[in-house]
Amino acid sequence: MFSLQTTVKQATLDSREVAEMVGKRHGDLMRDIRTYQDYLAESKIALSDFFIESSYTDSTGRVLPRYRITRKGCEFIAHKMTGQKGALFTAKYIERFHEMEQTLAGSGMSVAQMLNQQVAIVINEVDNLNGRVEYLEDNMTVDFGQQNRLQAKAKETAIKSLGGMDSPAYADKSLTRRVFSALWRDYKDYFAVASYRDTSRVDFDKALSYLANWRPQGALLREIEFANAEVRHCVG
């Protein structure tokens, strides 16, 4: 069951509960409310007197939109309905608001207490949202544009390591392939990823720097030096 919530000035119903009351999909009710919003804006009537934009977190962790609907908002929706449906909805929302009024009267909560309660709820929701944002930022991988920049930097470094595009080493296709292969193998080992596409966004600048400073080592470096030196020797 969705709960009624209160602000300092008014109580509200969750649009998901109102959707159940009127027998609509929540998405359809949201669409209707956005249409009503346009009507109210044209007449320069404050939307917050009727519908208050909000959000909720579903079972999968997604943050989705909803509205907090005031008594005036419920009356507005009821006036758009006819016959038995409209009458039943009116009875239901009146009963729900009456329950809220009875609860508040029985609890003896002051306006200040109600405000402090709502502030605590909002702060908790903000903290949870910030935590989800930080998690996403830490786990998001590089986007398409960043992938292209990594590829370009790797190509630039590999060609430079071979001695340039005019070098004998670069002309040796087998050697060139092994240089590119060694570069990406070292990169994946360093960043512990299966592909450069899996690089974390927070590591993007570090990844560019790594690629810019990478150099072939050991036997591969010796083979590059030999290929370029041998041709220079032949020319000399």
CA distances from 84 to 18, 79, 81, 227 (A): 16, 12, 9, 89
Tell the residue number behind the tokens 């959000």, with chain if given.
55
Q: What is the predicted pLDDT for the residue at 6?
A: 47
> Does pTM surpass 0.85?
no
Q: What is the pLDDT of residues 192-216, one digit of tens each?
A: 989 999 998 888 999 999 999 999 9
Cβ count within 10 A of residue 49: 15
Token pair of 44, please? 């320069």
What is the phi/psi pair of residue 49, to 5°? -70, -15
What is the mean pLDDT of the segment spanning 67-95? Answer: 84
Q: What is the predicted pLDDT for the residue at 220?
A: 93
CB 220 within 8 A of CB 179: yes
Q: What is the predicted pLDDT for the residue at 45?
A: 83
Q: What is the pLDDT of residues 156-196, one digit of tens each?
A: 999 999 999 999 999 999 999 999 999 999 999 998 989 99
Token pair of 128, please? 């949870």
Residue 9 gets which letter from DSSP? S
State the average pLDDT for the chain: 81
pLDDT band at 236 (very low <50, low <70, confident <90, very high): very low
pLDDT band at 12 (very low <50, low <70, confident <90, very high): confident
What is the phi/psi pair of residue 142, to 5°? -60, 145
Asked if the model's pLDDT at residue 233 lies above 80, the reply is no
Asked if the model's pLDDT at residue 98 lies above 90, the reply is no
Backbone Cα Rg of the chain: 32
pLDDT band at 1 (very low <50, low <70, confident <90, very high): very low
Q: What is the predicted pLDDT for the residue at 129?
A: 59
Q: What is the predicted pLDDT for the residue at 2?
A: 52
| Long-range contact set of residues 109-116: C-beta below 8 Å, sequence gap at least 24 | 111/8, 114/6, 114/7, 114/8, 115/8
Which residues lie closer than 8 Å to 128 by C-beta, 6 or more apart? 57
Asked if the model's pLDDT at residue 117 lies above 60, the reply is no
What is the mean pLDDT of the segment spanning 2-6? Answer: 48
CA distances from 15 to 40, 67, 118, 193 (A): 18, 5, 18, 44
DSSP codes, 48-78: GGTEEEEEEE-TTS-EEEEEEEEHHHHHHHH
Q: What is the pLDDT of residues 145-159, one digit of tens each?
A: 999 999 999 999 999
Q: Which helix (H) or strand (E) holds 12?
A: strand 11-14
What is the mean pLDDT of the segment spanning 115-142? Answer: 62
What is the mean pLDDT of the segment spanning 121-132? Answer: 60
Asked if the model's pLDDT at residue 110 lies above 60, the reply is no
What is the mean pLDDT of the segment spanning 111-117? Answer: 53
* Rounded Cα–Cα distance for residues 127 and 130 (Å): 5
Q: What is the pLDDT of residues 21-33, one digit of tens each?
A: 888 999 999 999 9
Q: What is the pLDDT of residues 40-80, one digit of tens each?
A: 888 888 888 889 998 888 888 888 999 999 888 888 888 88
